[in-house]
Chain A
Amino acid sequence: MKKILMCGNEAIAEAAIIAGCRFYAGYPITPQNELPSYMSKRMPEVGGIFIQSESEISAINMVFGASLTGIRAMTSSSSPGISLKQEGISYLAACELPAVIVNIMRGGPGLGNIAPSQSDYFQATKGGGHGDYHTIVIAPASLQEMADLTILSFDLADKYRTPVMILGDGILGQMMAPVEFKSLKPKVESFGKKDWILDGCKGRKPRIIRSLLLAEGELERLNLKLQKKYNEIKDKEQRCEVLYGDDSEIMLVAYGTSSRISRSVIERLRKTGKKIGMLRPISLWPFPEKELKRVAKRAKAFLVIEMSCGQMIEDVKLAIDCARPVYFYGRTGGEIPSEEEIIKTIEDKTRS
Chain B
Amino acid sequence: MGGRGDGKGIPHRYIQRCSVKEEIIFAGFGGQGIMLMGKALAYAAMNNGRHVTWMPSYGAEVRGGTAHSMVIISDEIIASPVVKEPTICVVMNRPSLQKFETRVKKGGFLIVNKSLIDIDAARNDIDILNIPATNMASELNSLKSANMIILGALLAKRSIVSLESLIDALKDALSVSNYNMIPINEKAIRKGFEYGSR
Direct A–B touching in the complex (beta carbon < 8 Å)? yes
Closest to A113 in B: B59
Contact A260 B59 (CB under 8 A): no
Give CA–CA (A262, B79) in the complex, Å.
8
Contact A176 B58 (CB under 8 A): no
Contact A171 B81 (CB under 8 A): yes
Closest to B60 in A: A114
Which residues does chain A contribute within 8 Å of B172, judged by CB atoms? 4-5
**Top 9 closest A-B pairs, CB basis?**
A264-B79, A176-B54, A175-B81, A114-B59, A30-B59, A260-B79, A175-B55, A261-B79, A177-B53
Give CA–CA (A170, B81) in the complex, Å.
11
Q: Assess whether A3 is interfacial by the CB under 8 Å rule.
A: yes
Which residues does chain B contribute within 8 Å of A4, judged by CB atoms? 172
Give CA–CA (A172, B80) in the complex, Å.
9
Instruction: Return B67 CB to nearest CB of chain A, in Å.
Output: 13
Closest to B35 in A: A176
Instruction: Return A138 CB to nearest CB of chain B, in Å.
Output: 21
Identify B46's interface contact among A114, A178, A260, A264, CB under 8 A: A178
B contacts with A: majority SS:
mixed
Contact B52 A174 (CB under 8 A): no
List chain A positions with a Cβ less than 8 A from chain B: 3-5, 30-31, 114, 170-171, 174-178, 257, 260-265, 267, 336, 338-339
Given contacts A30-B59, A174-B58, contact A336 B82 (CB under 8 A): yes
List chain B positions with a Cβ less than 8 A from chain A: 39, 42-43, 46, 51-56, 58-60, 76-82, 84, 172-173
Which residues does chain A contribute within 8 Å of B46, judged by CB atoms? 3, 5, 178
Contact A175 B54 (CB under 8 A): yes
Contact B79 A177 (CB under 8 A): no
Give CA–CA (A260, B28) in the complex, Å.
29
Contact A178 B52 (CB under 8 A): yes
Contact A174 B56 (CB under 8 A): yes
Closest to B169 in A: A5
Which residues does chain B contribute within 8 Å of A267, judged by CB atoms? 76
Give CA–CA (A230, B76) in the complex, Å.
39
Closest to A115 in B: B59
Which residues does chain B contribute within 8 Å of A5, judged by CB atoms? 39, 42-43, 46, 52, 54, 172-173
Instruction: Return A156 CB to nearest CB of chain B, in Å.
Output: 27
Instruction: Return B44 CB to nearest CB of chain A, in Å.
Output: 11
Contact B81 A339 (CB under 8 A): no
Give CA–CA (A3, B49) in the complex, Å.
11
Contact B80 A260 (CB under 8 A): yes
